[in-house]
Each structure stands twice: as structure tokens, then as C-alpha cells.
């Protein structure tokens, strides 16, 4: 199984207070007016990568606590995304999507821990996280998804800040 992947890199910003591996999926049909990743719209962009290649790349980031799926629109390569999620057992799995939470396939939700959803809108830009105030952040607790508001976000990531400090 293969996917068009634009890049894979270390990220310090996509999950606050965590080191993560960011996997940029190529292709997005949503064409949001304010998109800042237009170079990732082409579904033939990036490089064709096998599941094994992507997993090897993730393993080469041993300090990463999370894997982030973004793009582009990862949902548009859903079969690959689901297989990838199934194969990752030792890291938090985070999805950035321009689609709303209610539109995401249930089978995918089972494998994710954190979701940032909705299109970026420059008129609602926040200088924070998420990047625009229309976007929602949802974290799974047990089997339930909870919508985080800003105070919750501070509490949620306080413990990981401590862990990060200890590690270095
Ligand atoms: S969903 Fe994201 S990548 Fe796609 S057009 Fe909208 S902002 Fe850009």
C-alpha cells in the first residue's frame, strides 16, 4: 500500500509541548480560501511512499511522543491513513483536518487521540493554537471525545511540559 507524501519531519509546534513526527499528506480538494499550504493541494505531489517506508521514517525519530497527520488533507488517503494508524502503537496519534469532526469516519476515530478540525480562516486568526478560532480541538478520554477550550488546553499540556523538561 502506498500514499503520496509531501514530507516527513520533526515538529515542535503541531502538538504543544511535545516533540512529534509530522507527516504531510499530498492532496487536498477542499481549496479553502485562506489556505497557507496551497503547494500541497496537488494529489500527485510529493513522493509515493510505502507503509513500510513511512513507518521506518517514524522509527527514526525515537524522541517523538506523537505522530501528526496533516497536509494537504490526510483524510483523502483514508485507506493508507487507517493502516498507518493501526501500525503505530507507541505514540499519540494526532490528525489535522480541514473537515469537521462529525464528517470523520468512525473507524478512523478509534485510532486517534487528538484532532484539530476545520478549515483555516485568516479573518479568525488567533496567533495561538488552533490557528483560527473556528477550528476545534478534540481529545479522546477513554472512548469519549471531548472538545477542549483554551483553559482545558493549558491543563492538558501542563504535564507534558514537565516531561519534556525532564528529558533534556
Ligand atoms: S483543508 Fe487545509 S490544506 Fe486543505 S485547503 Fe483547507 S486549509 Fe488548505
For 68, half-sphere exposure in the C-beta direction (CA atoms, 13 angstrom radius) is 25
Task: Give the separation between CA 101 and CA 30, rounded to whole angstroms.
Answer: 15
Residue 106: which domain range? 2-165
3-state helix, strand, coil in the chain (%, to 5): 30, 30, 40
Tens digit of each residue's pLDDT (9 = 90 or more) over 23-57: 999 999 999 988 988 999 999 999 999 999 999 99
Protein residue whose Cα sits closest to atom 8 of ligand 1: 35
How does residue 149 score in pLDDT terms, banded at 50, 70 and 90?
confident
> Is it the case that residue 131 has pLDDT exceeding 80?
yes
Query: What is the per-residue pLDDT for 153?
Result: 67
The rounded Å distance from CA 30 to ligand 1 centre is 6
Task: Give the separation between CA 61 and CA 59, rounded to whole angstroms.
Answer: 5
Q: What is the CATH number of the domain that holds 8?
A: 3.20.20.70
Q: Give how many domains the chain has, as a whole number.
A: 1
Tens digit of each residue's pLDDT (9 = 90 or more) over 108-129: 999 999 999 999 999 999 888 8
Residue to mutate, 7, 23, 25, 32, ligand 1, most ligand atoms under 8 Å from C-beta: 32
pTM here is: 0.89
Query: What is the per-residue pLDDT for 17?
Result: 86
Q: What is the mean pLDDT of the chain?
A: 89
Tell how far CA 49 is from the center of its chain. 18
How does residue 162 score in pLDDT terms, banded at 50, 70 and 90?
very low
How does residue 160 score in pLDDT terms, banded at 50, 70 and 90?
very low
Query: What is the per-residue pLDDT for 91?
Result: 95
The rounded Å distance from CA 110 to ligand 1 centre is 23
Counting from 1 in the atom list of ligand 1, the atom nearest the Cα of 34 is 7
The rounded Å distance from CA 42 to ligand 1 centre is 11
Counting from 1 in the atom list of ligand 1, the atom nearest the Cα of 97 is 1
Amino acid at each position: 500500500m502506498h500514499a503520496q507524501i509531501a514530507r516527513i519531519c520533526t515538529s515542535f509546534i503541531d502538538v504543544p509541548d511535545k516533540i512529534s513526527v509530522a507527516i504531510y499528506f499530498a492532496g487536498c480538494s477542499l481549496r479553502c480560501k485562506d489556505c497557507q499550504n496551497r503547494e500541497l493541494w496537488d494529489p500527485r505531489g510529493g513522493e509515493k511512499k510505502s507503509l513500510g517506508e513511512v513507518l521506518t521514517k517514524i522509527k527514526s525519530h525515537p524522541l517523538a511522543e506523537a505522530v501528526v497527520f496533516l497536509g494537504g488533507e490526510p483524510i483523502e488517503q483514508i485507506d493508507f491513513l487507517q493502516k498507518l494508524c493501526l501500525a503505530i502503537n507507541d505514540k499519540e496519534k494526532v490528525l489535522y483536518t480541514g473537515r469537521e469532526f462529525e464528517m470523520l469516519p468512525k473507524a478512523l476515530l478509534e485510532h486517534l487521540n487528538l484532532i484539530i478540525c476545520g478549515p483555516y480562516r485568516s479573518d479568525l486568526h488567533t496567533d495561538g493554537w488552533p490557528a483560527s478560532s473556528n477550528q476545534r480541538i478534540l481529545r479522546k478520554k477513554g472512548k469519549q471525545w471531548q472538545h477542549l477550550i483554551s483553559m482545558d488546553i493549558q491543563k492538558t499540556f501542563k504535564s507534558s511540559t514537565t516531561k519534556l523538561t525532564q528529558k533534556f
